[in-house]
Structure 1
């Protein structure tokens, strides 16, 4: 048989005040992990974009309004007299990047985009929404 370890091992007893303080600390830690601070919103990003190709007369502006609103962006879109489409996109940086890199280069089915030329812009108030402007 093996000798009993309880007889040879020293026993450690915590004072009552220390045990209570330990329980309070554990409860506080559990409460803080249950209610984490709200996530920080990234600073809004805005870009002015000129889209070249066959982009007029193919539902491009209406498609841009629908797509931008679906992504929660604010801004505007309009035709330009030189045959391009111009847009201002403002909002969450990941969603602006999504519009720039994945949506605008493809456009609606009848479009044939040859270039998307972005430049920095000042962010808009999200309450402005996304609109279609007259030709400039």
Structure 2
């Protein structure tokens, strides 16, 4: 699996979603109940998805890199999920992330960058 540092991801995505989110319009995020961010990395795009969905919606970020998930969790604390919503950050797609139908399928799946299959065992972090 190709690995990226949190610093690299921050540097290469700086300002990417500031001000202009027209590219997300066709996803109709405000009407979705469950949204999945595949390959969420440090969670920047997951946070954008959270901001664009209904406060009652569930936004799930999955990534195979647990180091990046740690950064995503730190940066998401208190800013991604409102008191009445749920935000989950996990590794790989499996029942703990609610991806396989454990709590229903996603309405929309999105990824800001390409992802690759991982042979690493799944790890889940829920917040």
TM-score grouping bracket, smaller chain normalisation: under 0.3
Structure 1 length normalisation: TM-score?
A: 0.25
**Structure with the higher fraction of residues in strand conformation:** 1
Structure 2 length normalisation: TM-score?
A: 0.26
Q: Which has the larger radius of gyration?
A: 1
